[in-house]
């Protein structure tokens, strides 16, 4: 069924044009986010359901979508969080073709604006295209609307750990009686075969910095006004994080952005990756407690899995040495690089963990500035 046929069916059973248009708009929203929290009940306050700002549509629209089978609000889409129960409306497989058509109609009506907007802010294109993360639960790309200063995502951390034989620490509360080596073997089987895409890792880290997030928020705001992207809370099966909202981005928008992103000078792209790698290695040797041998192995992995960038082991190692020396000299929070230490030794000693964390944040801000000025 086409969107127009569906509209005709709604007219035939007595719905006015404003309701029909609201249904079309709600379908377009569901195409963007696939799953949207429409209500929540705060625990301990009498069970009164409150509507969310994320779903601005009427209950009549919900009834239409549900009874036609285009949306679902079943219990499997409810998140029982510690302080509130969150109720989501989710797009169904049956509703996907109509929702995609509704979104494309919305995009086409704003296409000239979108192209001009991206062209004016083309310096953001690499960050937008390479800096997105992917949520497998909703099959959508996203960027956070608040800075996280995340050097390495949990997923990337697991991949690197598996490739350099970094045995994970056992959890404080173990649900299964696995030893640390057993946990490492399980992790390695899952992640060792995954490719380490250092380009995406670099831009995702850059996108987590304050100055990058501010630029991204400014870019997304007019697109959000036209509901071409949506701002949604982060969530998982047991919690909803309204203080950690994400810009949800469609493939259609990324395709337009990608046409600008691919125009990057390869040498400039390589420069961002090199700069990110030195910060990553500093983080691994500090926060992640990698040994000197594991840091050196991480360099080998990055070089071998980034052949197209023309990175060399020696230049990455020298860049890491220089960064350690710089941080040691300017902050005193770490020692100099442990040149004579064996592979089981630390790459450097940490004297002030908080100062090291602040230094890493500052380098991420510099990385973000570089990523924002590639075109």
Strands 133-135 and 84-91: unpaired
- The answer on 62 and 15 residing in a single domain is yes
**Of the candidate ranges 9-18, 99-108, 191-200, 349-358, the one whose mean pLDDT is the lowest:** 191-200
pLDDT of amino acid 153: 86
Read off the pTM. 0.90
Residue 145 counted as domain residue: yes
| pLDDT tens readout for residues 348-375 | 999 999 999 999 999 999 999 999 988 7
Tokens matching residue 220: 């997304």
What percent of the chain has a predicted confidence (pLDDT) above 70?
94
Mean pLDDT of the chain: 92
Give the pLDDT confidence of 23-71 residue by residue, as tens digits: 999 999 999 999 999 999 998 766 788 999 999 999 999 999 999 999 9
Residues 317 and 236 in one domain: no
Quick check: 337 and 282 in contact, CB under 8 A?
Answer: no
Residues 294 and 347 in one domain: yes
Same domain, 56 and 115: no
- Of 261, 278, 300, which closes a domain? 261
The count of structural domains within the chain is 3
What's the whole-number mean pLDDT along residues 82-100? 96
How many whole angstroms separate alpha carbon 300 and alpha carbon 298? 5
Same domain, 173 and 240: no
Q: Is there a single domain that holds both residue 63 and residue 174?
A: no
Q: Does residue 51 share a domain with residue 17?
A: yes
> 297 and 185, same structural domain?
yes
pLDDT of amino acid 45? 65
Question: Are 137 and 254 contained in the same domain?
Answer: yes
Do 125 and 270 belong to one domain?
no
Q: Is there a single domain that holds both residue 159 and residue 257?
A: no
Q: What is the mean pLDDT of residues 271-277?
A: 95
pLDDT digits (tens, 9 = 90+) for 207-263: 999 999 999 999 999 999 999 999 999 999 899 999 999 999 999 999 999 988 888
Higher pLDDT, 229 or 161: 229
Contact call for residues 230 and 32 (beta carbons, < 8 A): yes
- Structural domain ending residue among the three candidates 240, 261, 282: 261
pLDDT at 181 over 80: no
Tell me if 164 is assigned to some domain.
yes
Mean pLDDT confidence for 1-18: 95
Cα 92 to Cα 6: distance, rounded to the nearest angstrom: 16
pLDDT at 171: 52
Long-range contacts, stretch 274-277, CB < 8 angstroms, 24+ apart: 274/311, 274/315, 274/316, 274/319, 275/202, 275/319, 275/366, 275/367, 275/370, 276/198, 276/201, 276/202, 276/205, 276/206, 276/367, 277/198, 277/202, 277/302, 277/311, 277/316, 277/319, 277/320
Last residue of a domain, one of 106, 140, 166: 106
Predicted local confidence at residue 43, as pLDDT:
86
Range with the largest mean pLDDT of 86-100, 141-155, 187-201, 253-267 = 86-100
pLDDT for residue 183 is more than 80: no
> How far apart (Å, rounded) are the C-alpha atoms in residues 74 and 322?
56
Rg of the chain (C-alpha set): 24
Partnered with residue 45 across adjacent β-strands are: none
Mark whether 320 and 172 lie in a shared domain.
Answer: yes
Q: Running DSSP on this structure, what letter comes out for residue 350?
A: B
Tell me if 97 is assigned to some domain. Answer: yes
Confidence of residue 178 (pLDDT cuts 50, 70, 90): low
Instruction: Give the bridge partners for 241, in sequence order.
Output: 234
Residue 202 domain-assigned? Answer: no
- Please tell me the predicted confidence (pLDDT) of residue 170: 56
- Rounded to whole angstroms, the Cα distance separating 263 from 125 reads 9
What is the extent of the structural domain holding 44?
3-106
Q: How many residues does the chain have?
A: 375
């Amino acid at each position: 069924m086409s969107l127009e046929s569906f509209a005709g069916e709604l007219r035939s059973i007595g719905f006015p044009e404003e309701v029909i248009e609201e249904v079309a708009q709600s379908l377009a929203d569901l195409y963007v986010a696939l799953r949207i929290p429409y209500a929540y009940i705060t625990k301990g306050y009498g069970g009164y359901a409150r509507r969310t700002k994320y779903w601005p549509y009427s209950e009549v629209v919900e009834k239409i979508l549900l009874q036609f089978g285009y949306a679902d609000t079943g219990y499997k889409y409810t998140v029982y969080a510690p302080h509130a129960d969150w109720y989501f409306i989710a797009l169904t497989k049956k509703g996907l073709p109509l929702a995609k058509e509704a979104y494309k109609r919305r995009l086409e009506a704003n296409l000239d604006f979108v192209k001009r907007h991206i062209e004016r802010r083309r310096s953001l294109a690499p960050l937008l295209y390479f800096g997105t993360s992917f949520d497998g639960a909703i099959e959508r790309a996203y960027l956070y609307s608040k800075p996280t200063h995340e050097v390495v995502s949990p997923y990337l951390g697991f991949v690197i750990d598996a490739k350099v034989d970094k045995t994970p620490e056992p959890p404080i509360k173990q649900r299964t009686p696995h030893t640390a080596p057993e946990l490492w073997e399980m992790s390695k089987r899952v992640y060792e075969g995954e490719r380490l895409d250092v380009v995406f890792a670099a831009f995702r880290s850059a996108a987590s910095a304050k100055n990058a997030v501010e630029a991204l928020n400014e870019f997304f705001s007019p697109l959000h006004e036209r509901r071409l992207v949506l701002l949604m809370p982060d969530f998982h099966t047991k919690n909803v994080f309204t203080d950690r909202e994400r810009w949800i981005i469609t493939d259609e928008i990324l395709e337009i952005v990608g046409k600008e992103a691919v125009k990057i000078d390869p040498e400039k792209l390589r420069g961002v990756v090199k700069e990110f790698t030195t910060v990553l290695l500093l983080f691994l040797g500090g926060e992640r407690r990698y040994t000197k041998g594991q840091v050196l192995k991480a360099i080998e992995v990055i070089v071998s899995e980034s052949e197209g960038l023309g990175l060399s082991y020696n230049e990455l190692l020298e860049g890491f040495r220089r960064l350690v020396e710089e941080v040691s000299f300017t902050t005193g929070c770490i020692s100099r690089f442990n040149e004579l230490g064996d592979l089981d030794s630390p790459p450097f000693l940490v004297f002030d963990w908080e100062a090291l964390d602040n230094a890493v944040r500052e380098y991420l801000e510099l990385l973000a500035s570089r990523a924002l000025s590639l075109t």
